[in-house]
Structure 1
Amino acid sequence: MLTTTPHSSQVDVAIVGAGIIGVTCALQLARQGRRVVIIDQQPAGQGASYGNAGHMATEQVFPIADLSILKRLPAMLLDPMGPLRLDWKYLPQALPWFTRLLLNLRQQPFQRSVAGIRSLNEGSLPAWQRLLDSIGKRSLLREEGSLLVYERADSRPSLDGLQQRLREQQVAVEFWDAQQVQQSAPQLSEHLCGGLFFPQTGHVTNPYLLLTDVLAAAQSYGVQFLRQQVTGAQLLQEGVHLTLATGTLQASQVLLACGAHSAPLTAALTGKKVPLDTERGYHLMLPREQGRLPFAVTSLERKFIMTPMAEGLRLAGTVEFAGLRQPANMPRAWQLQRLSQGLFKQPLDVAEATPWMGFRPSLPDSLPIIDRVAEGRVLLAFGHQHLGLTQAAVTAEHIGRLAALPVTVLPQQALPELTSYRLARF
């Protein structure tokens, strides 16, 4: 770990953000011979990457909302414990973002978003396999698939419709009846009607350990970590000048990978005001629930996920729009335990359970920004909404390709497959 500000000549790439996107990109760039420093005001992995659901959600190829959000808006405003909540005090600030989200639900932009998410997701699991194999940590990734269960017979048409839409997007999906669910996850309630099984998904046994192991691998290639707050940024003729809380730093390039906090620095370096907001996500960690499930299980009706981890069972999910400044609404985390009631033959043990909240960075078209701008001096990798863990390794590979382009080569010409993720779309 750095204890002093590095000299400018020692830094090729300064990465702002030590979440899973930042550290995977750091490893990729260091392996390409770059001298890299990661900067974050928190210890590495203490943001949204710490508390994610651990699910490699390659099956989730649809945007975060569809047209049904219009019907749900009153409940979003009035139900503080609902699965999708908009704090009414935050409504004036959120209104421009939601307006853009609704415009992106029109057929053409919606299909563009689906294609962009699907493209990243299709490459996500292979990218993680390559990364974890390269650092000898493949055991952190379990590839037993995942299951979406349903409880009510009247939910079957909705489930069938989802299965059909997923198959149209070439997502591997199987219908399981109640007996198949019981055979594979015998601790689940016998009252479940069945579900959809996704064989080409998986989960991570410890998201924080995954991040620290990737960071350790990056550090073995010379990557340094500087615990500092970046308070400003300015383009120079041959690089970028960063103002820190206690000093300055100059680098040939900067990579902005600070999740929901990326907008101010993006504006400072590019002049572009990105419509970035946050889906506040919650989890409840149950340390006494070892071995309850063989894979991640999501409830169709209750809209939350349960993931088995080395340290217990993690209940996660729900989306709350309340911005970056309001304190966590921890009753929402405890609501996850109430949502689990009735899904198992025996109730979950919540003794010593710990709640958590994190900021998931979200753009109104549900696509991240993965780009190189400002004549190659600025790299961007943020806005992955609830798919940050899933898409981190493949994003790092794309950032590596962008960083390797000569300054005279435009990314949109050399890498047209990344066009959907360009900053210029805003």
Structure 2
Amino acid sequence: MADPKQADIVVVGAGIIGVACALQLARQGRRVVVLDLQAPGMGASYGNAGHLATEQVFPIADLSILKRLPAMLLDPMGPLRLDWTYLPRALPWFIRLLLNLRPARYQRTVAGLRALNEGSLGAWQRLLQSMGQTRLLREDGSLLVYERAEFRAALDAVQQRMRQQGVAVDFWSGDAVRKAAPQLSDAIQGGLFFPATGHFLDPYTVVGELVNAAKAEGVQFLQQRVLDGRVEGSGVSLTTDQGVLTAQQVLIACGAHSAKLTAALTGKQVPLDTERGYHLMLPHEQQRLPFAVTSLERKFIMTPMTGGLRLAGTVEFAGLDRPANMQRAWQLHRLSKGLFRHDLSDSEATPWMGFRPSLPDSLPIIDRVCEGKVLLAFGHQHLGLTQAAVTAEWVGQLVAGEQVPQLHLYRLERF
């Protein structure tokens, strides 16, 4: 497709969701153009934890968040941080979050997360196999560990909740943990092993390989800022900083930046906010762990990658505009002390911050609206990497006019 004006579908967003969807749609015979201000994969997809988190079937918060609110406001290094200057803007979102913790809505969220996550591993296997890139994913499980005896009850509660939702989980003793991961400290009492999970060796490389496969199918990638858009009789018109593009359909998949264009095209105001996530990459620690390990008490994850060991997991609510507080990334190294027989090296470590798109019910929007001219795939919070492949398959079904049985859980109209 030499002329981007001949596109059938314009995908706005070149993160893991947008690129996976673009490849799926191109393979279905659509002429696809992808627009993003940044190069593909340079947003939240670049720095995620790399964990294929199929076990995470519960919302991002529970009612205990009310008790933690003072600490969230006062502790700049806490695992869950709310910038007090952002509180007035965040308050309506948090009220919605609390309302979604009522029993019926809570169960709806769990059902929605389960439906996506249960299909995620198989969808990734199919996608990577189709590209000849199965090497990018290690299907070797993940581990949640605890250190202090008083946390055993909390660990048992997690195991019970997981089993009630059909999540495969096994209890490991401290000795079993150290047999699998010998460099972990003797202080670790035990943990929960999730066999149906895995990790990606380099999330940015995953996006790059998806881009290569999409280009081979004729997808064009253009670095342009989308300024506005409108639905017209024959399709959709998008105004960018380099002109106007028209297409039969548009897919909004630009993560935490999706609300403005969604409002312009659909008239709907979506309560989208961002979990600002931080990571610290330790380039000299490639061999420390065989799989991803999360600390129950310390509330962060460590994932082995080709480029080193990535420490991630801290969440900050401060919007899209405030500068990053990279001390939060360095805090992850301090949190790791005591988890290993020998402390991790932070020599040549690099910090990072990205915007995870979050809706107050913890479910993404995956929908087809405006008589099919507008497609939506955003709001996957910290599960974008996990759910990208299955989301792409569902978007492909929507475009093909097929039924997606679970779709009612993710519709725009719920807002």
Length-normalised TM-score, structure 1: 0.96
Match of 1:129 in 2: 125
- State the alpha-carbon separation in 1 of the partners of residues 281 and 363 from structure 2: 28
Aligned equivalent of 2:173, options 165, 170, 177: 177
Match of 1:53 in 2: 49
- State the alpha-carbon separation in 2 of the partners of residues 416 and 183 from structure 1: 43
Match of 1:418 in 2: 407
- State the alpha-carbon separation in 1 of the partners of residues 121 and 86 from structure 2: 36
Contact 2:277–2:353 (CA under 8 A) maintained in structure 1:
yes
User: What is the DSSP-based 3-state SS (H/G/I as helix, E as strand, rest coil) of the residue aligned with 1:297?
Assistant: strand
- State the alpha-carbon separation in 2 of the partners of residues 7 and 163 from structure 1: 51
Q: CA deviation at 1:114?
A: 0.5
Match of 1:160 in 2: 156
Q: CA deviation at 1:395?
A: 0.1
Aligned equivalent of 2:240, options 219, 244, 248: 244
Q: Percent identity?
A: 71
Residue 339 (str. 1) matches residue 328 (str. 2): no
Counterpart code for 2:243: G
Length-normalised TM-score, structure 2: 0.99
- State the alpha-carbon separation in 1 of the partners of residues 406 and 302 from structure 2: 34
- State the alpha-carbon separation in 2 of the partners of residues 229 and 417 from structure 1: 33
Contact 2:112–2:406 (CA under 8 A) maintained in structure 1:
no
Counterpart code for 2:10: A
Q: CA deviation at 1:308?
A: 0.1
1:158-215 deviation line (CA, Å, top 9, x unaligned): 1101100000000000000001001000000011000000000000000000000011
User: What is the DSSP-based 3-state SS (H/G/I as helix, E as strand, rest coil) of the residue aligned with 1:90?
Assistant: helix
Match of 1:186 in 2: 182
- State the alpha-carbon separation in 2 of the partners of residues 170 and 33 from structure 1: 37
Counterpart code for 2:73: L
Q: CA deviation at 1:416?
A: 3.8
Residue 263 (str. 1) matches residue 259 (str. 2): yes
- State the alpha-carbon separation in 1 of the partners of residues 242 and 336 from structure 2: 47
Residue 34 (str. 1) matches residue 34 (str. 2): no
Aligned equivalent of 2:356, options 357, 360, 375: 360
Contact 2:300–2:311 (CA under 8 A) maintained in structure 1:
yes
User: What is the DSSP-based 3-state SS (H/G/I as helix, E as strand, rest coil) of the residue aligned with 1:49?
Assistant: helix
Q: CA deviation at 1:7?
A: 4.8
Which runs of no fewer than 5 residues in structure 1 stay unpaired? 406-410
User: What is the DSSP-based 3-state SS (H/G/I as helix, E as strand, rest coil) of the residue aligned with 1:249?
Assistant: strand
Match of 2:100 in 1: 104
Residue 403 (str. 1) matches residue 394 (str. 2): no
Q: Give structure 1 regions of 4+ aligned residues with deviation exceeding 4 angstroms.
A: none
Match of 2:58 in 1: 62
- State the alpha-carbon separation in 1 of the partners of residues 59 and 370 from structure 2: 29
Match of 2:371 in 1: 375
- State the alpha-carbon separation in 2 of the partners of residues 265 and 55 from structure 1: 30
Residue 118 (str. 1) matches residue 114 (str. 2): yes
Match of 2:228 in 1: 232
Residue 324 (str. 1) matches residue 320 (str. 2): yes
Match of 1:274 in 2: 270
* Count of aligned residue pairs for this structure pair: 415
User: What is the DSSP-based 3-state SS (H/G/I as helix, E as strand, rest coil) of the residue aligned with 1:182?
Assistant: helix
Residue 297 (str. 1) matches residue 286 (str. 2): no
User: What is the DSSP-based 3-state SS (H/G/I as helix, E as strand, rest coil) of the residue aligned with 1:59?
Assistant: coil
- State the alpha-carbon separation in 2 of the partners of residues 418 and 130 from structure 1: 21
Q: CA deviation at 1:246?
A: 1.4
Match of 1:220 in 2: 216
Counterpart code for 1:206: D
Pair 7,280 (structure 1): closer, same or farther in 2 beyond 3 Å: closer
Counterpart code for 1:364: P
- State the alpha-carbon separation in 2 of the partners of residues 87 and 178 from structure 1: 37
- State the alpha-carbon separation in 2 of the partners of residues 106 and 210 from structure 1: 37
Match of 1:308 in 2: 304
